[in-house]
Amino acid sequence: MIFTKQKADSIGAISSTLCLIHCVATPFIFLAQSSLLNCCNEVPSWWKLFDYFFLIISFFAVIRTTQTTTKQWVKTALWFSWAFLFTVIINEKFELLSLNENIIFIPTISLIYLHLYNRKYCQCNTDKCCTHEG
């Protein structure tokens, strides 16, 4: 049972790390592609779908982690970070506000840190250790 509870943190940290790699790699990949082909300034739609894929996975990881963490501030921070990530991704798609593209690193790194922190904090020997306590 403890493994299942910590799995959400592992999946969340891995998903957020892959999201971070995706965000860092995107400009370099398309810079190289555009200089080679001189035709494609637009990011392919399948590449843009990765944003939503990581967002959905991280949503379910945050749900599960907030159900099992013993620290209220971790719950709040996870939801705040996820909502911030959601807002940045939606803003990027619809261009509602002019934001620096690097702002996406703040919620992504926060999610990685919080999942890893919670995973370490929630090491226990009984099922009752990681329950809905404040």
What pLDDT, on a 0 to 100 scale, did the predictor assign at position 133? 45
Residues 37, 128: Cα–Cα separation, whole Å: 58
Residues 95, 32: Cα–Cα separation, whole Å: 24
For residue 82, give every residue at least 6 positions away whose Cβ sits within 8 Å of its Cβ, in sequence order, or none.
Answer: 58, 59, 62, 107, 111
What pLDDT, on a 0 to 100 scale, did the predictor assign at position 27? 66
Helix ranges (H only) for the chain are: 2-37, 45-68, 72-94, 105-121
pLDDT beneath 50: ranges in the chain: 1-3, 125, 131-134
What pLDDT, on a 0 to 100 scale, did the predictor assign at position 134? 42
The domain ranges of the chain are 2-124
